[in-house]
């Protein structure tokens, strides 16, 4: 038993050691976050962030994050990390967001940018790879965006995912896996999952891809089809007599019937590989959910009423590491945060009651004064 436990623990450590953590930000060092995050100067009207754990929190220091401070502003701020590609690997994006101001209308999402993003000039027009997170406006919009950039277009998730609208801190997690499945978690619970191909608007895209590929194939077919089935390894016999025998041509190899989906490979070797292209391969080929040069994360959004706090950013290739990080951060402080909010609410209710009573007393004496004035006014008339 004890041996088994030791073994499990060793596995545990191994797993953590294997996880690639591309970016992790908990704002543990006071104002030094300003060395890591770059405020955009694209517009002088862009709103400013400050470090704060807000009006109520689970832990005054640990819950400090980036808070929006000005109403009705655009915000644009970002942080860099060593560029990486998620090709063949899982990509997990996770962070916490708290709308303690009771969000009326505004974004609470993050964007992942290519490494060549101009941080100082960050704006709504800066191209991004992925946008993920909650967006609230009135009663109509309260959704989690998962927008994927793919083939020069942004593709929004078709399946609506509702976000949290209360004033507490919530943990948002997006998982994109190399087998083209995905998952969206809120507070550690899987809220939506499935196939990227089906849950994004890619069916129409696939059709256009296919028809343009088909027309290309038609164009190239006749000459290519013949040429590539000549035996490239043959050479002109030394006794070939041009005048008697005519132009020399390499002998034909046995040619398979032309088939849609056959693909030329290794043109210089003159070999056709008999490879049927499956629809999923089609998407794979165009690197759906693969991003070559991920290099920055940013908050580029609009808020009417400010006060949102962003914290506990994580980008990794390991779902389990993200789970554990979520538990160690949000998991630890969510309970105490609610307790503090409940205590404040009670105090507020008490204060309000006292104020009511005071007003009541005031209005009583006011009432007398009013009677007095009315009396005198009547007298004046
Ligand atoms: C801000 O971004 C917009 C949109 O990309 C661009 O047109 C404008 O030139 C930028 N302004 C500055 C000062 O860089
Ligand atoms: C800022 O970025 C926009 C495109 O997003 C570009 O048109 C503009 O020239 C850039 N401005 C500067 C000062 O680099
Ligand atoms: C889906 O894609 C097609 C073609 O690209 C576009 O016309 C349509 O508006 C898209 N639908 C949604 C819900 O994004």
Q: Is the Cβ–Cβ distance between 163 and 136 less than 8 Å?
A: yes
Of 118, 122, 127, 298, the residue with max ligand 2 atoms within 8 A of its CB, to mutate for a pocket test, comes to: 118
Q: Residues 6 or more apart from 264 whose CB is under 8 A from it?
A: 224, 228, 272, 273
Q: Are residues 265 and 306 in the same domain?
A: no
Bin 72: left if φ > 0, else alpha if -120 < ψ < 50, else beta: left
Cβ–ligand 3 distance for 208 under 6 Å, the answer no
* Inside any domain, residue 6: no
**Which band of pLDDT confidence, cut at 50, 70 and 90, is reported for residue 369?**
low
Of 187, 192, 189, 193, the C-alpha closest to 98 is 187
Indicate if the pLDDT at residue 130 is higher than 90. Answer: yes
Q: Are residues 192 and 86 in the same domain?
A: yes
283 is written with which tokens?
């998407």
- pLDDT tens for residues 29-75? 999 999 999 999 999 999 999 999 999 999 999 999 999 999 999 99
Q: Domain of residue 243: give its range.
A: 221-276
Tell me, what's the pLDDT at 121? 97
Choose between 264 and 320: higher pLDDT.
Answer: 320
**Calpha distance 316→325 (Å, rounded):** 11
Q: How far is the CA of 34 from the centre of ligand 2 (A)?
A: 23
Percent of all residues in the chain with a pLDDT value above 70, rounded to a whole number? 73
Of 259, 291, 258, the C-alpha closest to 277 is 259
Atom of ligand 2 nearest to the CA of 127: 5
* Alpha-carbon distance values, 44 to 74, 215, 312, 341 (Å): 10, 50, 28, 35
**Calpha distance 62→82 (Å, rounded):** 25
* Inside any domain, residue 158: yes
* Alpha-carbon distance values, 144 to 148, 162, 170, 183, 299 (Å): 13, 6, 12, 12, 15
Q: Are residues 32 and 106 in the same domain?
A: yes
- pLDDT tens for residues 88-108? 999 999 999 999 998 899 999
Tell me, what's the pLDDT at 249? 72
Atom of ligand 2 nearest to the CA of 121: 1
Of 40, 43, 122, the residue with max ligand 1 atoms within 8 A of its CB, to mutate for a pocket test, comes to: 43
Choose between 41 and 10: higher pLDDT.
Answer: 41
Q: What's this model's pTM, rounded to 2 decimal places?
A: 0.74
Q: How far is the CA of 44 from the centre of ligand 2 (A)?
A: 14
* Inside any domain, residue 243: yes
**Cross-strand bridge partners of residue 193:** 183
Percent of all residues in the chain with a pLDDT value above 90, rounded to a whole number? 60
**Calpha distance 80→297 (Å, rounded):** 7
* Inside any domain, residue 44: yes
- pLDDT tens for residues 133-144? 999 998 889 999
Q: Are residues 122 and 239 in the same domain?
A: no
Tell me, what's the pLDDT at 210? 53
Choose between 117 and 378: higher pLDDT.
Answer: 117
Q: Are residues 264 and 307 in the same domain?
A: no
Cβ–ligand 2 distance for 126 under 6 Å, the answer yes
Indicate if the pLDDT at residue 24 is higher than 90. Answer: yes
Which ligand has the minimum distance to the alpha carbon of residue 150? 3
Sign of CA dihedral 102, 33, 118, 318: negative
Q: Are residues 80 and 150 in the same domain?
A: yes
**Cross-strand bridge partners of residue 97:** 170, 310
- pLDDT tens for residues 172-181? 999 999 988 9
Atom of ligand 3 nearest to the CA of 205: 5
Tell me, what's the pLDDT at 340? 96
Q: Are residues 155 and 270 in the same domain?
A: no
Residue whose Cα lies nearest atom 3 of ligand 3: it is 204
Q: Are residues 81 and 171 in the same domain?
A: yes
Q: What CATH code is carried by the domain that includes residue 37?
A: 2.60.120.200
Q: What is the mean pLDDT of the chain?
A: 81
93 is written with which tokens?
């994006």
Tell me, what's the pLDDT at 6? 44
Q: Is the Cβ–Cβ distance between 20 and 317 less than 8 Å?
A: yes
328 is written with which tokens?
């160690």
* Weakest-pLDDT range from 182-196, 242-256, 345-359: 242-256
* Inside any domain, residue 12: no
Given 276, 306, 321, the domain boundary residue is 276
Indicate if the pLDDT at residue 237 is higher than 50. Answer: yes
Of 58, 32, 45, 81, the C-alpha closest to 309 is 58
* Inside any domain, residue 361: no
- Helix H segments across 140-258? 196-199, 203-227, 242-245
Q: Are residues 95 and 135 in the same domain?
A: yes
């Amino acid at each position: 038993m004890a041996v088994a436990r030791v073994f499990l623990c060793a596995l545990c450590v191994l797993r953590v050691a294997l996880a690639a953590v591309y970016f992790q930000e908990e704002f543990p060092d006071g104002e030094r976050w300003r060395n890591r995050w770059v405020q955009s100067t694209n517009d002088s009207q862009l709103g400013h962030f400050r470090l704060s754990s807000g009006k109520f929190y689970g832990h005054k220091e640990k819950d400090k994050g980036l808070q929006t401070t000005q109403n009705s502003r655009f915000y644009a701020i970002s942080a860099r990390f060593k560029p990486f590609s998620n090709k063949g690997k899982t990509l997990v994006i996770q962070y916490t967001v708290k709308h303690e101001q009771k969000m009326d209308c505004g974004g609470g999402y993050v964007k992942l940018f290519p490494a060549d993003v101009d941080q100082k000039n960050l704006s709504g027009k800066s191209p991004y790879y992925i946008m993920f997170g909650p967006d609230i406006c009135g009663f109509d919009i309260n959704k989690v965006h998962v927008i994927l950039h793919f083939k020069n277009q942004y593709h929004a998730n078709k399946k609506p995912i509702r976000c949290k609208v209360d004033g507490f801190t919530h943990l948002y997690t997006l998982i994109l896996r190399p087998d083209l499945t995905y998952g969206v978690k809120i507070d550690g619970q899987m809220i939506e999952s499935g196939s990227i191909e089906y849950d994004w608007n890619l069916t129409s895209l696939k059709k256009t891809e296919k028809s343009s590929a088909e027309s290309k194939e038609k164009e190239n077919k006749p000459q290519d089809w013949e040429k590539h089935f000549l035996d490239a390894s043959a050479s002109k016999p030394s006794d070939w007599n041009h005048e008697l025998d005519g132009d020399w041509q390499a002998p034909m190899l046995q040619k398979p019937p032309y088939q849609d989906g056959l693909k030329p490979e290794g043109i210089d070797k003159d070999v056709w590989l008999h490879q049927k292209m499956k629809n999923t391969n089609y998407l794979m080929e165009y690197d759906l959910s693969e991003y070559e040069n991920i290099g920055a994360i940013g908050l580029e959004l609009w808020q009417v009423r400010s006060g949102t706090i962003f914290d506990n950013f994580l980008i990794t290739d390991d779902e389990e590491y993200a789970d554990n990080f979520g538990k160690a951060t949000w998991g630890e402080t969510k309970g105490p945060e609610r307790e503090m909010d409940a205590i404040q609410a009670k105090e507020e209710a008490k204060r309000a009651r006292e104020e009511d009573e005071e007003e009541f007393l005031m209005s009583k004496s006011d009432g007398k004064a009013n009677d007095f004035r009315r009396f005198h006014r009547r007298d004046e008339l």
